[in-house]
Structure 1
Amino acid sequence: MKALSIKQPWASIIAYGIKDIENRTWKTNFRGRIFIHASAKIVEEVDFTTQQTALLFENGIWHPDRGFTEELNITSAIIGEVIIVDCVINHESIWADKTFMYECDETGEEPIGKPIYNWVLENAILYDKPIFNVKGKLSFWNFEK
């Protein structure tokens, strides 16, 4: 099955089913279930919106005094699965990074700069026992249990 390496805390937030979008600079036509691989690197500073912060707090994986739960520090492991159901620009999700658009007389709307693609995710599964010591790769890659 295909796998995608994602830095923490994003990988766990997806696996928990909280984050329903994966933002990428490249479009995918792939639709289906993939493994979520927590890459070796953790994003040290993440700026969450007020809505995102509230959702993380409500789901018990972040607390203003204690930070993230330990699960969000797992790296180099397959931690779950999710289904990619679509790939769009400017999804309405609070997790979707936006592409700034401008209107063009002949072609309609065109992106300013490089577009950001929002991969729409559903049916996330967080594993009770991650598969540790898995080295990630760029783009999609194959992993066999």
Structure 2
Amino acid sequence: MTKALSIKQPWASLIALGIKDIENRTWKTNFRGRIYIHSSGTGAKGKFLAMNEKQREEAAKFEKFYPLYFDDLQRGAIIGEVDIVDCVINHSSIWAEKTNGCFLENNVFYKKGTKIIYNWVLANAVLYDKPILNVKGKLSFWDFEKTIIS
């Protein structure tokens, strides 16, 4: 079995297309390796507007990910795979949410009570031509066994 991670659209497709190289979470992971990308049944609020200007410009470069097609993005399915190669705080990627503050963790100071955002660094994304449909996601990592249908 391989680990899977449920991610809301449009973020799931952006990751599977190799556009978004960071997944932001409030929890740290020591896991490194290949995971399935599961597009959850619900999408992010605000859709295209959920991105900042630089992110919208980057996403718009890819014909497969045009904002008019947001409602057509696959939901409730395994849509691809990606490698988690690192987990850091305050990555330089345009997709990384930042943490500010004042206590020490990983040689960075954060203020007590600061919500730390961990940036999972992603690489080697693959978007499936045929997603695995009707897959119910879960919170955190979960196991998924891919069955090949010929």
TM norm structure 2: 0.86
- Mark the CA change 1:101 to 1:59 in structure 2 (over 3 Å): closer, same or farther: same
> For residues 1-145 of structure 1, what are the structure 2 equivalents within 5 Å?
1-46=2-47, 47-60=50-63, 61-63=65-67, 66=68, 68=70, 70=72, 72=73, 74-102=74-102, 109-112=108-111, 113-145=114-146
Q: CA RMSD in A?
A: 1.8
The structural deviation recorded for 1:102 is: 2.7
Counterpart Cα distance in 2 of 1:24 and 1:108: 19
One-letter code aligned to 2:70: F
- Paired residue total: 139
Q: Give the TM-score, by structure 1 length.
A: 0.89
Choose between structure 1 and 2: higher strand proportion.
1
The residue type equivalent to 1:32 in the other structure is: G
Q: Say if 1:56 and 1:69 are closer, same or farther in 2 by CA, change over 3 A.
A: farther
Q: Find the residue that maps to 1:134 and give its secondary structure.
A: coil
Measure, in 2, the Cα distance between the counterparts of 1:82 and 1:99: 24
- Percent identical: 60
**In 1: Cα distance, 2:19 partner to 2:26 partner:** 21
Deviating more after overlay: 47-56 vs 86-95: 47-56
